Amino acid sequence: MSIPFDLSIFELIFLALLLFISASVQGVLGFGFAVIASPIIVQIEPALVPQLLSLLGLPLALRVFIREKSKVNWKPMKFLVAGRIIGGPIGLLFLTTLNPDLLSISVGAIVLSAGLGSYFGWNLKRNSINALIAGTFSGIFGMIAAIGGPPIAILYRGTKGSEFRPSLNAVFTLGIMITLSLLLFTGNILQDHLILFMYLVLPVLLGIRFSSSLFSKVSDKLIADMVTYFSIISGATVIYRVLF
């Protein structure tokens, strides 16, 4: 079987398992899909980030949003989306000008900062200016590494999970659509990305489908802590491997 980007069958199976777990975590916490998957995938094949994760992240974010859309806080949404529109082209400039090593370091730095932000409990007052800033950084990070969640998560820190999950994923849905539109318009989505999407969308959908039952006996806090420590370790590891 010919697999896009010259991946081996073992790498394809590993990616399917990784994406299943990442989607399951996002189904419970509302975020975590790209934070977990991106630093690993970028070391296997940098050309898959952000394209493949954005393609797979769209149905995932849409599913979580639809599941709990009645709890969304729409008030800051217009500023967050405006920020994504501003940040997308800036991120695209970085994506198209950075060499693979610098791109990998950028992914590692974004994941590491996400973990540190969670560990130290960074927080932002929710107002229009901060929502615009968070949305802009979300757009930049989403374009570089498909990791648009951390700036939004900081803005929504302290809210109940029933509001946190759908609000984040409402932003993800709109933001990923902006990211994919820019990637498609500039010719940065290849046929191989679409073929891999068709191979790997099923594990993602299964992950979100079984997320509640998979983690029913594990507290949300424990899962969130695991994602935090994983982000710190994996982000630092990506940077170390590129530099040394």
Q: Report mean pLDDT in 10-residue bins for the chain, 244 residues.
A: 90 97 91 94 95 96 89 88 96 94 95 94 91 96 94 87 86 96 97 97 94 78 91 95 92
**pLDDT value of position 165:** 87
Supply the pLDDT for residue 205: 94
Residue 160 pLDDT:
80
For residue 187, the one-letter residue type is G
Task: Encode burial over 119-153: b for 16+ CB neighbours within 10 A, e otherwise.
Answer: eeeeebebeeebbbbbbbbbbbbbbbbbbbbbbbb
Q: What's the full length of the chain, in residues?
A: 244
* Predicted pLDDT at 1: 61
